Structure 1
Amino acid sequence: QRIASRAHPLFRLVLSGCAIIVRGQPRGGPPPERQINLSNIRAGAMARRAAQSQPDAKDTPDEPWAFQAREFLRKKLIGKEVCFNVEIKTALGREYGMVYLGRDTTGENLAESLVNEGLATVRREGIRGNNPDQVRLCEMEDQSKASRKGMWSEGGGAHTIRDMKYVIENPRHFVDAMHQKPVNAIIEHVRDGSVVRALLLPDHYLVTIMLSGVKCPSFKREPDGLETPEAYAAEAKFFTESRLLQRDVQIIMESCPNQIILGTIMHPNGNITELLLKEGFARCVDWSMAVYTGGAEQLRAAEKSAKERRVRIWKDYVAPTANIDLKDRQFVAKVMQVINADAIVVKMNSGENKTVHLSSIRPPRIEGEVTPACRFRPLYDIPYMFEAREFMRKKLIGKKVNVTVDYIRAATGAGETTPAFSERTCATVSIGGINIAEALVSKGLATIIRYRQDDDQRSSHYDELLAAEARAIKNGKGLHSKKEVPIHRVADISGETQKAKQFLPFLQRAGRSEAVVEYVFSGSRLKLYMPKETCLITFLLAGIDCPRGSRNTPGGVQTADPFSNDALVFTRDLVLQREVSALGGSVSSLSSRRSSQALCVLVLWSTRRSVWANYEEKPVEEVVQMKEEKERVANYKAAYVTEISDSMHFYAQDVETGAQLESLMETMRAEIAAQPPVEGSYAPRRGDFCIATFADGEWYRARLEKVESPSKVHVFYIDYGNREVVSAVRLAAMPPAFSTRVLPAQATEYTFAFIQVPQDDDIRAEVVDSLVRDIQNTQCLLNVEYAGATCPHVSLQFGDTKDDVGLGLVKEGMVMVDVRKEKHLAKMVNEYLTGQESAKSARLNIWRYGDFRADDADEFGYRR
């Protein structure tokens, strides 16, 4: 059947040197396609892989010059329009005709070009004299033979047969060897918008490449063998085909999980991965985005553009924050409480408290079930829960943070295995440019929630969170560590009267104790966590009586006093989860600034319009003003210095309890001598209290600070302040009769007030040597001057001469003065500065070059 047909479609694909596929111009979707076989010529057959369903079938190699003929046509036709005449259509539907480059028959005749280059033979059977095209092809073939072109050259063309490789023995090794190196390739087939078959050059590997970081709608194969396209699957495939099919590209192979090669295809006109996202033909996928060479933020930005324009697969997209007012999406607020490792309470500018959950992270969790019989305390019993809470508390409490709401998680009802959750505001919280969720994850104190691919309710910095978690896993941080999990043995004596009475004398002897306010029951009743003593206590503020809230009594619910809630809110906002100091049974310092007396006054004045609303002030002749500044209290007590550390901190024992310690040591050693512990029976664990044999062969009480191996256990002798690395065979369990509950640890850590610790190692070592000679193992007089971050700062006097040890170091020019601004310390500071001036004048030690300049201070390890 001869057909007079002419068209000028777009080239799509070259099947071989004598067959091409063309498609029409697109009209709102993928256009129809036609296969055109070139009339009167034949080119070699291309290599073909054997059917996988036939085990005995073999691969078919290229015929000589077949690939060269295909490449000749491909390079001529790629991206071009063609014109063709269909001359014959067989009963099976195959169409034969002449194909020309361009929009009419005046263009280059492809069949003639192939024959002229010796890349195809002419079908001479049945030559008809009235067919000038066939006659002309025969003449051109004779000329090509005479010129020995192509297949007519010497050698028969065996060198033109490719060594095709359809299987890679070790694909992961292959990808690793090619990692980040662009490889030249030809895209041979497009399965869907994000999966292609590529021919890698020059080695002729035929591999399947999946685009990293994205996924397009695909074609689902039904049981009957038919393929059902998902929405926009055909359009996505056409989008990729029209830009990449049989194009020369470069491929960056990025990963090979589960035998799938992930990569990025680079074309001179752009990156197909980002184009698919931008046009709404693909969505980001988390599992492969991390390996994308261009960075996940590029893909997210492209996807975001499509979402905002609601194109194609995003036509029904609704942003997670679409129903949130603009002013509520991003705001600055003050952190009032850390509820958990993923939740905080913030105070808005309006004064309202709001609970905010950190987006896309999950706090540490306990594995297995918790039986009701055990007294389970999540904060202390779940591994790393306490560390995560403390990290959040120290970073955020009382500070202003930037909150960007990412989504609102709807309320859920309780299921058979899941609890009910109320509506949650999930946001990214940052302070000083640091994303708190990312910081938590990078330290291994939280994990990332994995979402369904179509779930857009996630953090706006989700990729950074995934990268942070990958780093934490690689470095073995926190939850990902293979070391023993930290154990927090916290004694809760807040509800036990007898234990509280036993603990009170120790608290009074200790003087000032550092604590964290864990809970506020009322305006004057608190629960404190005391890190050094590892216990929880109930604490009442001395000297004040706040209105009481409602409470259950045997006779029923007792009504709350007026303004009790105001007092509760005031104290909670002021001290909840702040670091405070407890002194003699009362809170003496709130946030290291206010005394118990100050809190009392603040409570009274804050409720002037409440509990004193009806108070009629009587006229008085004068008003007694509170003293703004307290006087320095010189209450020196005898202390025995037992250890001096390299950081110029020192440990001292209270002389008053020295006799108790000696008695306890004697009794303990006698009992151990009578019933020696079995050597090697004790299994050391970090944080445990135990007994250890020192170099003198005697037993001492100790705490385990680190367990590297059975032969390397780091111990701290709690009654003397020195440290040692010992073997586990030198350790034994501490008898209960000699525990810290019977007699608290006697070595207390201190540092010197009013002097700066030299940063230079040599200068600091010289000062430490001097202190060891002068005060170690001697009795001194000690007075606490002010609190410090880790231990109290004290002034120390020699026991015999009453000379100030720190002032002596200043006068000898060994240290510089730390100038304190408190007025009640001014007299002491001036005395120290006078001593410093005398050392300068005499040019002693660090002052030997005269007065410091900024660079001098750096040289000697000091900074003004």
Structure 2
Amino acid sequence: MGTESIDVLSGCAVIVRGQPRGGPPPERQINLSNVRAGALARRAVQGQPDTKDTPDEPWAFQAREFLRKKVIGKEVCFTVENKTPQGREYGMVYLGKDTSGENIAESLVTEGLATVRREGIRGNNPEQARLCDLEDQAKAAKKGLWSEGGGAHTIRDLKYTIENPRNFVDSLHQKPVNAIIEHVRDGCIVRALLLPDYYLVTVMLSGVKCPTFKREADGSETPEPFSAEAKFFTESRLLQRDVQIILESCPNQVILGTILHPNGNITELLLKEGFARCVDWSMAVYTQGAEKLRAAERSAKERKVRIWKDYVAPTANLDQKDRQFVAKVMQVMNADAIVVKLNSGEHKTIHLSSIRPPRLEGEEKNKDKDKRFRPLYDIPYMFEAREFLRKKLIGKKVNVTVDYIRAATSAMETGGVPAFPERTCATVTIGGINIAEALISKGLATVIRYRQDDDQRSSHYDELLAAEARAIKNGKGLHSKKEVPIHRVADISGETQKAKQFLPFLQRAGRSEAVVEYVFSGSRLKLYMPKETCLITFLLAGIECPRGSRNMPGGMQVAEPYSEEATFFTKELVLQREVEVEVESMDKAGNFIGWLHIEGVNLSVALVENALSKVHFTAERSSYYKTLLSAEETLWANYEEKPKEEVAQLTEEKERVAKYRAVYVTEITDGLHFYAQDVETGTKLESLMESMRGEIAAQPPVEGSFSPRRGDFCIAKFGDGEWYRARIEKVESPAKVHVYYIDYGNREILSSTRLAALPPAFSTRTLPPQATEYAFAFIQVPQDDDARTDAVDSVVRDIQNTQCLLNVEYSGIVCPHVTLQFADSKDDVGLGLVKEGLVMVDVRKEKHLQKMVTLTGICNLCALKCTSLFPSRASDGSQFVLL
């Protein structure tokens, strides 16, 4: 019968089995008839002191090796000639499917590796007679057992133990070692003979664990599901095969390694076929790429094979758009949590997967109980972690991949500890950098250790572990042996006496750097002053902002209209951003009053421009009074007083106002925003520029005399050799100064030698900046870089340096959103982009804008009677199809 040989017990005994059908097939031991090979070495039975180790008999190992290389993994045919009462079977084994193949016993005798049993020989037994003839020939040729010297050199120096296994493994430097797999205990644990020094060692596969056979108290073994199948999978591929083993580690006397066979890596194969799962504790030492093992396991999970047949992915209930998306970071909540803004405008809290922020340990928790505890400053490295995330992420677009949703926990489940709400845990990347990994590599967070069966973890968990190992090795952050950084931050909010002492210093300082820590309302903020290491409450000067609801002695005071919108506007613009403040005075409660600037934008002016605040009379004595008035006048210029009956009607249903004005488009940004000048004031700008250049020509500035500082207004020499008004946005070095041309909207990096002070007669008080930033209304800016570039190129080609008609539709966080028409044809620019398939429609929720883009299939952008655009909701509710 045709079978496969899977094990060679000695030079004269093999184990064979048939083809598997629904599981591991039965095995049979066949002892070769009429021949005998030397006995292999045997180890003394543990626990029985009367037994001893026995060495190889001469030529025994060579006989086993000859037979192993002949039959292992090969199809063989065998005949059974005799069966003892004890069940031992004797017969002949042939290579191939029938008895016409090579007779293994004859080959052994021919090579002098086995002797023939001559006792009881019968004359009518031709097979036995032939064996005797072959043995006589081997003797005459002095082969094997019949060679001179007795064969002492063929006895192995077999080593069952290693005196210092850790040093032994380290000495190999993770170089592949030739070996023979002698025994398979289960799918991931084998007994191997290391060559050429004959070390017999037990090796556990690094990074994985297979189902095992649990030993019970009575000595019996209970197989876990798929344990027998996993063992058969490894046996059928490795048992008694020539392999290479990379010995990778030796923790607790257990040797971890990777077995490499010419046909593949058994570790990866076990995972891919669902016979094993990844284990974190040994994954770290795996040298062939942990990501390959995770990918193999992920493949088995997705196919739900074997041990994963009941597997349910942590994000199985999420749509693709909820599993992976691009969002803008608005706030850093903690060292492991951020708030992002989705394309829909919704804000969502995201927790970084599998990391734990800095926390107090042991005795530190009991220190300074009387002191007001402030986690951000009092927990070591918490401030550094928050600052790392803030500087890296605030205001930036990031890629979010949700790894799992951690369910909410009740107080009962946490032993009385306050409950945690549901958490969305994700991997957040920016510019290809995993933020969690970067945080851990700097020692500003640690990796959470999970139960082996806990699948709710980061999709890049191994990279996090590796980053933590590097941080520990290099003594970074939390793992440093140096003294922890101490942040002595004074909170003088509401401390009138301290504020009075601090006020003159801030007034003399002019513009001071600050970080917005909290936004109470549209005009009330808490600031951290890094140079002064203090926290202050800051009120915006020159404006009167709507007040929100608050507790008063007489009860809850109702919020004024638009107070929430003002707070939201301020949060979006400045929360956790680096700003500059000018302190003018303080109130009776110890709150500082002044002006706040962010990237050249005065927050007070921005609130007025967006109709979220009005100018307060106290602004009259400020240098920003004219700018505030100009902003307010511009806002009211579009206001048209209605008859009382119309006003009453508008209170019920606000209508869209289409009041177009002529503008000249000067610059298009990469983000599909544009800058434009009002045509009405164009002559004023031309007159100012002509006068300014005349004065500069008469009194040229001294080259190199100007010292640039961020936020200052200046004049800059453009590429055409002419001078223009500009504002300094950033100073990297004297040779790299970032400037923004305030009348045209373009930006440039110049040397300070091409900059000079702005003559007072031509300042922004004389003529406000003429370039205003706008965004297209009802348009979704493509997230894909290539698609966005195509849209920008189209807009540049159509409208840059041309006169258009502009109408403000609604306010935005950064700038007004407008519709734009070509001056000659009155065709809408945004609608043209939609028709060309370059952008998608952004459906607004405001009732008075519903007529602009409706779900019934008619697009009335800019009051154009256009019936070519039929928005059609896709499955995710956001896609629109152009018909």
TM-score by length of 1: 0.71
Mark the CA change 1:612 to 1:346 in structure 2 (over 3 Å): closer, same or farther: farther
TM-aligned CA deviation for residue 11 of structure 1: 0.4
TM-aligned CA deviation for residue 189 of structure 1: 0.5
Which residue is 2:522 aligned to? 523
> Is the counterpart of residue 248 in structure 1 residue 242 in structure 2?
yes
TM-aligned CA deviation for residue 125 of structure 1: 2.4
> Is the counterpart of residue 468 in structure 1 residue 467 in structure 2?
yes
Q: Distance in 2 between matches of 1:560 and 1:613?
A: 28
Mark the CA change 1:617 to 1:823 in structure 2 (over 3 Å): closer, same or farther: farther
DSSP-derived class of the 1:138 partner = helix
Letter in 2 for 1:411: A
DSSP-derived class of the 2:544 partner = coil
Alignment partner of 2:20 out of 12, 21, 26: 26
Alignment partner of 2:350 out of 338, 353, 356: 356
Structure 1 segment 39-118 matched on structure 2, within 5 A: 39-55=33-49, 57-118=51-112
Which residue is 2:148 aligned to? 154
> Is the counterpart of residue 588 in structure 1 residue 585 in structure 2?
no
Q: Distance in 2 between matches of 1:493 and 1:625?
A: 46
CA deviation string 1:536-556 (max 9, x = no partner) = 111111121222222222332
TM-aligned CA deviation for residue 70 of structure 1: 0.5
Letter in 1 for 2:510: G
DSSP-derived class of the 1:584 partner = strand
Which residue is 1:8 aligned to? 2
Q: Distance in 2 between matches of 1:600 and 1:91?
A: 101
Mark the CA change 1:545 to 1:790 in structure 2 (over 3 Å): closer, same or farther: farther
Which residue is 2:400 aligned to? 403
Letter in 2 for 1:92: Q
Letter in 2 for 1:403: V
Mark the CA change 1:791 to 1:818 in structure 2 (over 3 Å): closer, same or farther: closer
Mark the CA change 1:71 to 1:418 in structure 2 (over 3 Å): closer, same or farther: farther
Alignment partner of 2:752 out of 809, 817, 826: 817
Q: Distance in 2 between matches of 1:292 and 1:137?
A: 51
Which residue is 2:608 aligned to? 601
CA deviation string 1:143-194 (max 9, x = no partner) = 2222211111111111110000111112122112212322111110111111
DSSP-derived class of the 2:443 partner = coil
> Is the counterpart of residue 196 in structure 1 residue 190 in structure 2?
yes
Residues 750 and 791 in structure 1, CA contact (< 8 A), matched pair in contact too: no
Q: Distance in 1 between matches of 2:732 and 2:146?
A: 91
Which residue is 1:236 aligned to? 230
Q: Distance in 1 between matches of 2:449 and 2:394?
A: 29
TM-score by length of 2: 0.69
Q: Distance in 1 between matches of 2:598 and 2:459?
A: 34
Residues 112 and 139 in structure 2, CA contact (< 8 A), matched pair in contact too: yes
Structure 1 segment 529-678 matched on structure 2, within 5 A: 529-585=528-584, 586-604=593-611, 617=641
TM-aligned CA deviation for residue 261 of structure 1: 1.6
Which residue is 1:743 aligned to? none
CA deviation string 1:449-489 (max 9, x = no partner) = 11222222211222221221111111111111111110000
Letter in 2 for 1:375: R
Which residue is 1:270 aligned to? 264
TM-aligned CA deviation for residue 199 of structure 1: 0.6
Q: Distance in 2 between matches of 1:816 and 1:8?
A: 86
Residue ranges of structure 2 left out of the alignment (5+ in a row): 585-592, 615-631, 644-677, 693-704, 717-726, 736-749, 764-883
Which residue is 2:744 aligned to? none
CA deviation string 1:568-605 (max 9, x = no partner) = 11111111111111212445343232125423423535
Which residue is 1:674 aligned to? none
Q: Distance in 2 between matches of 1:821 and 1:199?
A: 81
Structure 1 segment 668-707 matched on structure 2, within 5 A: none
DSSP-derived class of the 2:462 partner = helix
Q: Distance in 2 between matches of 1:220 and 1:822?
A: 83
Residues 248 and 255 in structure 2, CA contact (< 8 A), matched pair in contact too: yes
Q: Distance in 2 between matches of 1:485 and 1:300?
A: 36
Which residue is 1:412 aligned to? 409
CA deviation string 1:775-807 (max 9, x = no partner) = xxxxxxxxxx978679999xxxxxxxxxxxxxx
Residues 358 and 444 in structure 2, CA contact (< 8 A), matched pair in contact too: yes
Q: Distance in 1 between matches of 2:755 and 2:459?
A: 45
Residues 403 and 427 in structure 1, CA contact (< 8 A), matched pair in contact too: yes
DSSP-derived class of the 2:601 partner = coil
Mark the CA change 1:546 to 1:335 in structure 2 (over 3 Å): closer, same or farther: same
Mark the CA change 1:417 to 1:792 in structure 2 (over 3 Å): closer, same or farther: farther
Residues 587 and 595 in structure 1, CA contact (< 8 A), matched pair in contact too: no
Residues 403 and 429 in structure 1, CA contact (< 8 A), matched pair in contact too: yes
Mark the CA change 1:790 to 1:497 in structure 2 (over 3 Å): closer, same or farther: farther
Q: Distance in 1 between matches of 2:418 and 2:131?
A: 81
Which residue is 1:301 aligned to? 295
Alignment partner of 1:375 out of 372, 377, 382: 372
> Is the counterpart of residue 494 in structure 1 residue 521 in structure 2?
no
Alignment partner of 1:173 out of 149, 167, 173: 167
Mark the CA change 1:750 to 1:425 in structure 2 (over 3 Å): closer, same or farther: closer
Residues 172 and 259 in structure 1, CA contact (< 8 A), matched pair in contact too: yes
Residues 272 and 297 in structure 2, CA contact (< 8 A), matched pair in contact too: yes
TM-aligned CA deviation for residue 217 of structure 1: 1.2
Letter in 2 for 1:454: D
Q: Distance in 1 between matches of 2:753 and 2:255?
A: 63
Residues 347 and 354 in structure 1, CA contact (< 8 A), matched pair in contact too: yes
CA deviation string 1:612-646 (max 9, x = no partner) = 99997599xxx99999999x9xxxxxxxxxxxxxx
Q: Distance in 2 between matches of 1:548 and 1:750?
A: 32
TM-aligned CA deviation for residue 327 of structure 1: 1.0
> Is the counterpart of residue 221 in structure 1 residue 215 in structure 2?
yes
Residue ranges of structure 1 left out of the alignment (5+ in a row): 1-6, 633-647, 651-748, 757-784, 794-814, 829-864
TM-aligned CA deviation for residue 139 of structure 1: 2.6
TM-aligned CA deviation for residue 825 of structure 1: 8.9
Residues 12 and 21 in structure 1, CA contact (< 8 A), matched pair in contact too: yes
CA deviation string 1:21-40 (max 9, x = no partner) = 11111001100001111111
Structure 1 stretches of 4+ moved >4 Å: 605-608, 611-619, 623-630, 749-756, 785-793, 820-828
Q: Distance in 2 between matches of 1:206 and 1:248?
A: 14
Residues 67 and 161 in structure 1, CA contact (< 8 A), matched pair in contact too: yes
Mark the CA change 1:181 to 1:159 in structure 2 (over 3 Å): closer, same or farther: same
Mark the CA change 1:50 to 1:347 in structure 2 (over 3 Å): closer, same or farther: same
TM-aligned CA deviation for residue 15 of structure 1: 0.2
Mark the CA change 1:613 to 1:285 in structure 2 (over 3 Å): closer, same or farther: farther
Structure 1 segment 760-779 matched on structure 2, within 5 A: none
Mark the CA change 1:77 to 1:821 in structure 2 (over 3 Å): closer, same or farther: farther
Q: Distance in 2 between matches of 1:584 and 1:355?
A: 34
Letter in 2 for 1:526: L
Residues 512 and 583 in structure 1, CA contact (< 8 A), matched pair in contact too: yes
Q: Distance in 2 between matches of 1:826 and 1:455?
A: 70
Residues 543 and 600 in structure 1, CA contact (< 8 A), matched pair in contact too: no
Which residue is 1:482 aligned to? 481
Which residue is 1:184 aligned to? 178
Mark the CA change 1:421 to 1:613 in structure 2 (over 3 Å): closer, same or farther: farther
Residues 579 and 590 in structure 1, CA contact (< 8 A), matched pair in contact too: no
Residues 715 and 757 in structure 2, CA contact (< 8 A), matched pair in contact too: no
Residues 526 and 538 in structure 1, CA contact (< 8 A), matched pair in contact too: yes
